[in-house]
Structure 1
Amino acid sequence: MRSSFITWYPYCRRSDTIADALGGRSHLIHYLSFKRPMQAPLKYVLQTIRTLAVLVREKPEVVLVAVPPIFAALPVLLWARLRGGTRVVVDAHTGIFEHARWTWLMPLTRWVFRSADAVIVTGGHLADLVDSWGARTVVIGTVPVRFREGTAPADCDGARVVVVNTFSVDEPVGETLEAARMLHDSSFFVTGDVRHARREWIEGKPANLEYTGFVSEDEYAGLLRAADVVLVLTTHDHTMQRGGYEAMALDRPLVTSDWQLLRETFSRGTVHVQNDADAIAAGIVHALTEKTSLGREMQILRREHQTLFNSRLAELQQIAGLTEHADANGELAAARP
């Protein structure tokens, strides 16, 4: 069966990975600027037109769509209704449940989820919530990441701490800057488009911290491969950390926030910390001290999560009506028609 994955983002490794595992195509549909709410009305009109054009051209029998924005699901559901027989799977990112920008639209979100054939969520807590709305859920928190070799970054002073960051509302950037100031013998590299950063974060950064800006895939892969520690933080509970998966993919020690979901997901190779500067700094020191053993634990965790992903993907394929087979590496992939 033909499948397509629609995502109204300029980039999304999660969508790309799931689409590839299902044997389908990932379509990253995005116009105008990213994270500019004033542009949203025009942007959503353009992206709706483009989404319908993709569906008309490809005529998929299964359509996956990532939310937020919840509006991305509307043309997909319309297409499925008009065509008949098309199955719709919504991939619900945590922000749809947590961020004020989307929670006021919860009545629409509930209707969309009930209208879909399945809803992918990132953890059991969210599965319980969505199940209570009358929707069918599949939990896929872990999505395997594969990196190119990448471009090695320039040498730096001391240990290299890579902060996977997007300047989202749930990221404790100020506390991270203070932690970096305490650890002046290490070098910090903070990813993300600085156009979304507060002015005081740019002007008040410590000397041992560098903002990388939005980098290419090769630069990003090289930066993570060179990391002694990867730091990924969130102030919101039930929020999965893609940067944690990326650290796991490369067997890098991880420092992340001390939430139950993140403790369960990153149960090895990881130091869990509170989101204050002292705790963040102490966690980084611990991870650097135990770098070798944490790296070995990450190798074990990566294999465990690959097995879990294969199992959850098989469940999704059964719901969506997609056939499956194991590839030469034992990883689940969709059988292409």
Structure 2
Amino acid sequence: MRKQPWAVIAWTQVSRRSESLAREFGACYFRLSRVDRPRALILVYLARNFLWTIAWLLWRRPRVVITFHAHPLISLCGLMYTSLFRKSLIPDVHTAGFLDYDFFPARQLSLFVWKRARLVLVHNEAAREYLNEQYPDLGEKLFVLEDPLPRIDVKDPLPKGTRTSCTYICRFSGDEPYREFLQAAEGLPDMDVYVTGNISKVPGLQTEFRSSHIHFTGFLPDQEYFRRLAASDFLVALTTRPYTLMSAGYEALSLEKPLLVSDSEALRSYLGPLASYCSNTVESIRAGLQTLQTGVPRQKKAWAQLKQEKIRNWASKKQK
């Protein structure tokens, strides 16, 4: 049996936040994949993940377990282990955990787990206020911890072209207005637009948007992905979720890149006036793209100062 002081557990395809938390806390990272459809297969994967996670926890015996709380079962799994062996559970609550699963019995199950956890991590102050209003019993258990800024080291940067280029960081998920973005980008043929993410999730989309200045990169390995971001003049990240702080925001800040994001209280609170904001409509997105395309100063010094401020703030919270 191998003992490990801290563990971070995720049931997802990719979670940069979970990876970063594991690195910062010196924790062992355990990830299992998941599926979103069909329903019968979802149940099979949930049962498999539940059993594998219990077995892994019994093997590793961590003192502190941080769970990627989107689906409540992952934290219930952690609670069973930590209750049995008197260890500590810290659910890391993603937006899906309190918006997508806000129905019976998932809502009640989440609250049952959260009330018995040592802490409940949320990603921003707006999410904390929302959960505090919905679940006043949680009280001081709610703790705001943004993502640690990623350590991005681009050793072999891509050559920069002669035209303005932007990268739209996308996963083609239900909360991303990717069609609106593509419609907006189609009207800007003098700018190279790169779109990341697994486009096969949306059959026919690449055929629908065939403009020569729009380039679908597919899902990129980390080093290629960061090379693409570093070569861009600015980045774009959009979401319809009101309480989400997207990984793209942290990546842009780490790279000190101008950023166009959806206008939300959570994003404005974290990024402040340096970012550019838009609503998730074709017209607003196109206006935001044009504003950055026409040469808004990079404000590199201000981005660098904000970056260092966020690094210091995260280090301070980590000690708590």
Alignment TM-score, normalising by the size of structure 1: 0.85
Query: Could you give the per-residue CA deviations for residues 153-205 of structure 1, whole angstroms, max 9, x where no partner exists?
Result: 47656211101111111111111011111111111111111122253x32221
* Contact persistence 2:159–2:231 (CA under 8 A): no
Aligned length: 309
Partner amino acid for 1:194?
Answer: I
Deviation at 1:289, TM superposition (A): 3.5
Deviation at 1:40, TM superposition (A): 1.3
Deviation at 1:141, TM superposition (A): 2.2
Partner amino acid for 2:317?
Answer: R
Task: Report SS of the residue matched to 2:172.
Answer: coil
Partner amino acid for 1:47?
Answer: N
Partner amino acid for 2:96?
Answer: G
Aligned mates of 2:239, 2:176 — CA distance in 1: 5
Aligned mates of 1:230, 1:173 — CA distance in 2: 14
Gap runs ≥5 in structure 2: none
Partner amino acid for 2:164?
Answer: A
* Contact persistence 1:114–1:133 (CA under 8 A): no
Query: Mean Cα displacement is larger for which, 204-213 or 167-176?
Result: 204-213
Deviation at 1:150, TM superposition (A): 5.6
For residues 1-40 of structure 1, the aligned pairs below 5 Å read: 2-30=5-33, 34-38=35-39, 39-40=41-42
Q: 1:36 to 1:215 in 2, by over 3 A?
A: farther
Q: 1:305 to 1:198 in 2, by over 3 A?
A: farther
Partner amino acid for 2:113?
Answer: V
> What is aligned with 1:307?
312
In the alignment, does 2:63 pair up with 1:64? no
Note the aligned Cα RMSD (angstroms): 2.0
Deviation at 1:216, TM superposition (A): 0.5
Task: Report SS of the residue matched to 2:206.
Answer: helix
* Contact persistence 1:157–1:186 (CA under 8 A): no
> What is aligned with 1:148?
153
Alignment TM-score, normalising by the size of structure 2: 0.90
> What is aligned with 1:331?
none
Query: Could you give the per-residue CA deviations for residues 110-148 of structure 1, whole angstroms, max 9, x where no partner exists?
Result: 112112111100122322343434231110124211123
Q: 1:124 to 1:230 in 2, by over 3 A?
A: same
Q: In the alignment, which of 153, 175, 181 is matched to residue 180 of structure 2?
A: 175
> What is aligned with 2:216?
211
* Contact persistence 1:175–1:276 (CA under 8 A): yes
Deviation at 1:271, TM superposition (A): 0.6
> What is aligned with 2:123?
122
In the alignment, does 2:206 pair up with 1:202? yes
Query: Mean Cα displacement is larger for which, 300-309 or 150-159?
Result: 150-159
Query: Could you give the per-residue CA deviations for residues 273-323 of structure 1, whole angstroms, max 9, x where no partner exists?
Result: 1211222122122223345433332212111111221122222xxxxxxxx
* Contact persistence 1:19–1:26 (CA under 8 A): yes
Task: Report SS of the residue matched to 1:103.
Answer: coil
Gap runs ≥5 in structure 1: 316-337
> What is aligned with 1:45?
47
Aligned mates of 1:237, 1:255 — CA distance in 2: 16
Q: 1:30 to 1:211 in 2, by over 3 A?
A: same
* Contact persistence 2:71–2:96 (CA under 8 A): no
For residues 220-231 of structure 1, the aligned pairs below 5 Å read: 220-231=225-236
Partner amino acid for 2:301?
Answer: R
Task: Report SS of the residue matched to 1:210.
Answer: strand
Aligned mates of 1:269, 1:198 — CA distance in 2: 36
